[in-house]
């Protein structure tokens, strides 16, 4: 019966009227107890007078409860803020009673009526204690019944005994659906070690051994240290990854909902949290001024980089935002997201950048002044097998947009490139380098300011290794790595997009902006860390399989080509690449020839690409033969068609 009352669906949230009635009952009891205490626990007082005084006490406390709203809180979530509300309500009612009694004494509104001030003071103390104790008693009963009817509790350790750790403890304790028992806090501060917080002991980090974890049945460790540097976080996590626990983290305070931490915000530590560099912080950004009153067009707007560009751009003040993408479903999803976020002044358009006539009509109609070109094919092995598509999108498509931007007087054009354009070893990287070179050629001719940005790999982007590893872990493995020594640079999608926008604002035309991405990451180590962060063991639970380098794939990526160096900007993380001089007339002529060639004939177009980009040396690819025998005689027509 008791369980049904406390746990029944209709009683999980007790109606406010019942809480208010309960509070008024408690006040009646405490008022009577105040008289008992005042008269040495005897009934040697005028009981009839008590009954006359009680209505005034009820009225004062009722008004106070209604003003303060102390009855509005959920009893099963009673916390320190609710205690403050009770204290304020009792003080307000008691002050009201004292003032009323004193006024009546002199004005004689009700002759022969009074309440002893000692009774009011004793009652106020008893009322505060009674209202608080009853709430915590009911909360304790509810929690006990929840736990006794639920599954076995999950045991956790909270890493960090500071304010964030204490708030995390309270959040877990107040969440009735979470069957959690906090075994203890872990902290490096020797002054806290051995102390109790809410009855929970603070341990030194030396207790984090497999024996301690297994003995206490701990399944999770939650990091609650605010503003911890990525390197320190990585060191702490590395102390735990070999233990049979999941590692979770509390988000920064600024990300809490309305200043309060929610259980749903406590997430598994992501590999992004462990990047060996501080996150990009743009100070004194010029973006807001650069966008004011502008018409902005974004190609590839529904892609991983393009969509984040759109999200960030939509936060600024601009005249109009035009979204171009050929992926209908992805563009529709982005449109709905922007609508639900309350964004306005944007136009989604399904279009293909290879269709120059259509793009001319769109640019002529909307007259963009800022252009962000993020549309591209970027999957290395796929483009190695489909050079026709790589050239049509990455070179011809870019050429179309560049030419039209000059034709219609676009003020600034920002091109999203890649570190794979540096000393390319594959078709995709070479096409992006050719696009960079064509932009450099046109920069010399028109008034449009062309700006290029180069990135490393973007965490979470379409085709990135991180989502692939997560899917493989969900399926039970193995994780596939192409080479044990392969390394990559990484940055997050928001950081990449922020860099693009800032480059567009600071650029004066002709620059290639690159980003200080810190140390490169060994993919094999990244795979092991992802397995461990999932609470699994390598290789016992999930193994890693070496599959061999894919066609066109490098062991190491570069941000600068041979013969290039950098110049600083006002942001130490953003640099300008000093590109070596090229013969603009010859390069443009060669690119024009490539774009009008029959792109189905690989034995003609690949050598043309290698001529335009001499540093393009194929790696682990069928096109390596063109490096070994550049003067090889043309094959016959049948072989050309077959290729």
What is the Cα–Cα distance from 380 to 225, expressed in whole angstroms?
40
- 3-class state of residue 352 by DSSP: coil
Phi, psi of 575 (to 5 degrees): -125, 160
Contact 531, 473 (CB under 8 A): yes
Tell me if 439 sits within 8 A of 398, measured CB to CB. Answer: yes
d(CA 546, CA 563): 34
Q: Element (H or E) spanning 293, and its range?
A: none
Please calculate the CA angle 73-74-80 and round it to the nearest 5 degrees: 65
Q: Coil, helix or strand for 412?
A: strand
Short-list 187, 192, 189, CA closest to 207: 187
- Phi, psi (5° rounding) for residue 619? -125, 125
Contact 486, 448 (CB under 8 A): no
Residues in the chain: 643
* Phi, psi angles (nearest 5°) of residue 208: -75, 75
| Distance of alpha carbon 308 from alpha carbon 374, whole angstroms | 11
215 to each of 130, 184, 207, 211, 244, how far by Cα in Å? Answer: 40, 13, 11, 6, 12
Give Cβ neighbours of residue 221 (< 8 Å, ≥ 6 apart).
156, 157, 158, 159, 186, 208, 240, 245, 246, 247, 248
Which DSSP helix (H) or strand (E) runs through 207? none
Residue 567, strand partner residues: 576
* Radius of gyration for the chain, computed over Cα atoms and rounded to the nearest angstrom: 35
Q: Exposed, middle or buried by CB within 10 Å (0-12, 13-18, 19+), for 580?
A: exposed
In the block, residue with structure tokens 């601009």: 318
Task: From 80, 75, 266, select the one nearest 178 (Cα to Cα).
Answer: 266
Q: Indicate which residues carry an active-site annotation.
A: 420
Look up residue 312 and give its two tokens: 């960030």
Place of tokens 């040396």: 617
Which two structure tokens, joined as six digits, stand for 188? 């490096």
Question: 258: alpha, beta or left, given left = phi > 0 and alpha = psi -120 to 50?
Answer: left
The Cα–Cα gap between 639 and 643 comes to: 6
- The C-alpha atoms of residue 111 and residue 384 are separated, in whole angstroms, by 101
Helix (H, G, I), strand (E, B) or coil at 2: helix
305 in Cβ contact with 497 (< 8 Å): yes
Burial of 63 (0-12, 13-18, 19+ CB in 10 A): middle
Structure tokens, 392:
């049509």
Query: φ and ψ at 450, to 5 degrees?
Result: -100, 130
Peptide bond into 478 cis (omega under 30): yes
What residues contact 274, with CB distance under 8 A and at least 6 apart? 230, 233, 234, 237, 529
Q: What's the rounded Cα separation, in Å, for the pair 386 and 390? A: 7
């Amino acid at each position: 019966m008791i369980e049904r009352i406390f746990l029944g669906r209709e009683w999980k949230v007790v109606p406010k009227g019942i809480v208010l009635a309960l509070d008024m009952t408690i006040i009646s009891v405490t008022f009577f107890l105040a008289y008992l205490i005042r008269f040495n626990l005897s009934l040697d007082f005028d009981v009839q007078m008590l009954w006359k005084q009680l209505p005034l006490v009820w009225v004062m406390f009722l008004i106070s409860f209604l003003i303060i709203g102390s009855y509005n809180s959920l009893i099963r979530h009673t916390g320190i803020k609710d205690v403050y509300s009770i204290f304020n309500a009792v003080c307000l009612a008691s002050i009201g009673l004292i003032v009323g009694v004193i006024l009546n004494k002199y004005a004689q509104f009700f002759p022969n009526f009074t309440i002893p001030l000692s009774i009011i003071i004793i009652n106020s103390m008893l009322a505060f204690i009674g209202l608080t104790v009853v709430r915590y008693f009911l909360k304790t009963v509810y929690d006990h019944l929840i736990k006794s009817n639920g599954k076995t509790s999950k045991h956790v350790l909270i890493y960090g005994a500071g304010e964030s750790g204490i708030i995390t403890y309270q959040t877990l304790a107040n969440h009735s659906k979470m069957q959690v028992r906090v075994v203890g806090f872990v902290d490096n501060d020797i002054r806290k070690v051995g102390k109790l917080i809410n009855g929970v002991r603070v341990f030194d980090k030396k207790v984090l051994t497999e024996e301690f974890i297994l003995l206490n049945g701990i399944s999770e460790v939650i990091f609650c240290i605010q503003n911890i540097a990525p390197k320190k976080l990585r060191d702490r996590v590395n102390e735990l990854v070999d233990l049979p626990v999941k590692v979770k983290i509390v988000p920064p305070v600024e990300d809490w909902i309305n200043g309060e931490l929610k259980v749903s915000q406590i997430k598994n530590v992501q590999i992004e949290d462990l990047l060996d560099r501080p996150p990009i912080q743009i100070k004194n950004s010029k973006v807001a001024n650069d966008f004011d009153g502008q018409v902005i067009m974004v190609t590839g707007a529904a892609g991983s980089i393009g969509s984040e560009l759109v999200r960030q751009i939509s936060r600024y003040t601009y005249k109009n935002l035009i979204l171009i993408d050929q992926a209908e479903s992805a563009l529709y999803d982005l449109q709905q997201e922007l609508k639900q976020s309350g964004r306005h002044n944007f136009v989604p358009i399904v279009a293909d950048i290879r269709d120059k006539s259509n793009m001319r009509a769109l640019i002529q109609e909307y007259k963009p002044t800022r252009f962000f070109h993020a549309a591209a094919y970027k999957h290395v092995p796929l483009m190695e097998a489909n050079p026709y598509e790589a050239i049509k999108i990455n070179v011809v498509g870019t050429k179309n947009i560049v030419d039209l931007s000059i034709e219609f007087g676009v003020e600034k054009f920002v091109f999203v490139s890649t570190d794979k354009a540096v000393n390319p070893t594959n078709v995709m990287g070479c096409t992006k380098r050719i696009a960079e070179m064509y932009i450099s050629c046109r920069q010399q001719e028109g008034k449009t300011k062309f700006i290029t940005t180069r990135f490393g790999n973007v965490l979470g982007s379409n085709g990135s290794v991180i989502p692939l590893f997560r899917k493989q872990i969900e399926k039970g493995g193995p994780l596939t790595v192409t080479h044990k020594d392969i390394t990559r640079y990484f940055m997050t999608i928001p950081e990449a997009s922020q860099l693009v926008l800032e480059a567009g604002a600071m650029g004066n035309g002709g620059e290639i902006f690159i980003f200080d991405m810190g140390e490169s990451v060994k993919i094999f180590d990244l795979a092991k860390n992802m397995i461990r962060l999932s609470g699994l063991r390598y290789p016992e639970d999930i193994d890693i399989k070496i599959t061999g380098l894919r066609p066109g794939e490098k062991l190491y990526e570069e941000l600068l080509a041979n013969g290039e160096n950098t110049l600083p900007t006002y942001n130490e993380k953003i640099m300008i690449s000093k590109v070596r001089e090229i013969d603009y007339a010859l390069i443009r002529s060669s690119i024009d020839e490539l774009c009008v060639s029959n792109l189905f004939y690989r034995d003609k177009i690949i050598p043309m690409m290698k001529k335009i980009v001499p540093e393009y040396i194929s790696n682990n690819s069928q096109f390596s033969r063109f490096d070994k025998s550049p003067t090889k005689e043309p094959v016959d027509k049948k072989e050309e068609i077959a290729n």
